[in-house]
């Protein structure tokens, strides 16, 4: 595997600093992004000064500053300008691209990876995702061929503070009729900067946890792992708050816990928030990922909306959101998407909408979620297999009397239970999600799957 193959992932560029990601690579990525993003402009936009710019931000990692500086030098050497929006959460970049009308944006971040890691999340015009099939391969090719040359800035890097505008944008989603007390775990990540700037004085009493940045993580900044929520759950119980929320490192994802400290699955939050958006926008589409509980589609239909199931991954969700004019979307991974946020995901807006719903309903979060716990799930379980395609074909054959589709891996549906098995993009793993009407049925069907899938493994 080449060094570039190691860091160019399906949706971003990521690796350990300085072994995999360093200042020279940052410069080359900036240069390649400048060339590629400008090439996507149409004739009119190519003549607009605003579109001949790239927005650049960074998260709180100690090497983010020098990487961002070299990245921007590469961008301007490619022939276009840069707007440095500073240390921001990743969704701020999506806002900056649309607010400023740039041809794209780059966030220097490694999301939920350890502090030793860093990388680059790249977006195109209107914050469209740039991934392996939408430009990242072309950017990699340019990176692999361009030598670093002296940079001439010529005043083409400008600094801009957009926090006031961003606060106003997120604030459009926040309507709290009664004051809420909320425990917020920033995971020593960008939520520690974002939450005070966006939510101070907005009707929420915030109990801050791990808001300090520039230090080691108190726990890994990945809220999808239950153990990483232990501190938040304890704080919720001890301080009698209305609910808790934990953000990942770059604050584009979040996980909620109710007032008892119970973890709320993200598909159940999708179902809850979908009802809110369908009250405001009757008859609209809501998008959800293929791993989500049947409750999601049932709640969307009950609220008069149109459920739209989609493949896992932000590139697929955002594309479907745009094509179907969906008002809202959610993934099991903690990404929540909003039509009025350029079809992009945002931890800040998810927090704002959840606060609005909980305040407006006047009930504890546990009571709002309780009716949605109609089924039991395995959660996502990984199995190591030698031939992923053969195993998925064997599953389709064994359960051929069911409704089967291949939207993402193989999905097998019966009246009282269903499962999806999809392949990992990078490892010899199959990921199982199984749901049933009760625990006995789930255990029985899991036992039927085991001979084909083998023993589960930790990823």
The residues annotated with a catalytic role in the active site are 111
Q: Which residues neighbour 183 within 8 Å (Cβ) at sequence distance 6 or greater?
A: 206, 207, 209, 232, 235, 236, 239, 241, 243, 244, 245
Give pairs for 410-415: CB < 8 Å, separation 24+: 411/290
User: Residues 336, 434, 221, 12: is their CA dihedral positive or negative?
Assistant: negative
Under a CB-based contact definition with an 8 Å cutoff, are residues 209 and 184 in contact?
yes
Q: 417-423 and 410-413: which strand pairing? A: antiparallel
Q: Which two tokens stand for residue 43?
A: 């004739």
Write the CA distances from 324 to 14, 24, 329, 339, 348, integer angstroms: 31, 41, 11, 10, 24
Can you tell me whether residue 345 is helix, strand or coil?
A: strand
- Only one residue has tokens 């891996």, namely 409
Distance CA 362, CA 347 (A): 23
Contact 110, 251 (CB under 8 A): no
Residues 109, 83: contact at Cβ < 8 Å?
no
CB-side exposure of 10: number of CA atoms within 13 Å? Answer: 9
Angstrom distance (rounded) from CA 38 to CA 53? 9
Report the distance separating Cα 26 and Cα 406, nearest Å.
Answer: 38
Please list, in sequence order, all residues whose beta carbon lies within 8 angstroms of the beta carbon of residue 136, skipping any fewer than 6 positions away.
8, 11, 12, 13, 122, 130
Q: How far apart are CA 340 and CA 328, in angstroms?
A: 9
CB 118 within 8 Å of CB 67: yes
Name the H helices within 157-265. 163-171, 191-199, 230-239
319 φ, ψ to 5°?
Answer: -65, -45
Please name the helix (run of DSSP H) or strand (run of DSSP E) that holds residue 33, with its range, or none: helix 23-39
The neighbour count for residue 191, using CB atoms within 10 Å, is: 34
């Amino acid at each position: 595997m080449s060094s570039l193959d190691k860091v160019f992932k399906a949706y971003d560029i990521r690796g350990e600093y300085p072994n995999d990601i360093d200042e020279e690579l940052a410069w080359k990525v900036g240069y390649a992004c400048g060339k590629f993003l400008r090439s996507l402009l149409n004739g009119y936009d190519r003549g607009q000064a605003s579109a001949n710019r790239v927005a650049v931000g960074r998260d709180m990692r100690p090497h983010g500053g020098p990487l961002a500086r070299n990245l921007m030098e590469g961008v301007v050497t490619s022939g276009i300008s840069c707007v440095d929006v500073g240390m921001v959460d990743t969704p701020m970049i999506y806002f900056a691209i649309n607010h400023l009308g740039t041809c794209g944006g780059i966030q220097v971040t490694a999301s939920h990876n350890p502090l030793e890691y860093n990388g680059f999340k790249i977006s195109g015009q209107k914050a469209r995702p740039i991934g392996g099939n939408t430009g990242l391969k072309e950017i990699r090719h340019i990176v692999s061929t361009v030598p670093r040359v002296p940079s001439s800035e010529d005043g083409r890097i400008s600094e801009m503070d957009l926090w006031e505008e961003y606060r106003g944008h997120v604030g459009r989603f926040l309507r709290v009729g009664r004051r809420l007390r909320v425990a917020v775990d920033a995971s020593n990540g960008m939520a520690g900067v974002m939450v005070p700037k966006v939510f101070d004085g907005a009707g929420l009493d915030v109990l801050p946890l791990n808001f300090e940045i520039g230090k080691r993580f108190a726990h890994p900044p990945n809220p999808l792992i239950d153990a990483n929520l232990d501190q938040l759950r304890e704080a919720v119980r001890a301080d009698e708050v209305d609910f808790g929320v934990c953000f990942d490192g770059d604050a584009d994802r979040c996980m909620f816990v109710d007032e008892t400290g119970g973890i709320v699955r993200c598909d159940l939050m999708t179902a809850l928030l979908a009802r809110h958006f369908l009250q405001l926008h009757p008859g609209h589409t809501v998008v959800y990922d293929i791993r989500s509980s049947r409750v999601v589609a049932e709640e969307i239909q009950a609220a008069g909306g149109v459920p739209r199931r989609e493949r896992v991954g932000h590139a697929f969700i955002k594309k479907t959101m745009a094509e179907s004019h969906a008002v809202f979307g959610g993934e099991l991974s903690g990404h929540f998407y909003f039509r009025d946020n350029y079809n992009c995901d945002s931890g800040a807006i998810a927090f704002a909408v959840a606060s609005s719903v909980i305040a407006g309903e006047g009930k504890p979060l546990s009571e709002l979620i309780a009716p949605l716990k109609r089924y039991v799930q395995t959660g996502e379980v990984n199995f190591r297999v030698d031939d992923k395609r053969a195993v998925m074909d064997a599953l389709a054959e064994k359960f051929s009397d069911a409704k089967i589709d291949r939207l993402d891996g193989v999905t097998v549906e019966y009246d009282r239970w269903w499962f999806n098995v999809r392949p990992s993009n990078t490892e010899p793993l199959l990921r199982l999600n199984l749901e049933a009407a009760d625990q006995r049925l789930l255990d029985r069907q899991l036992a039927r799957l085991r001979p084909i899938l083998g023993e589960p493994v930790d990823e």
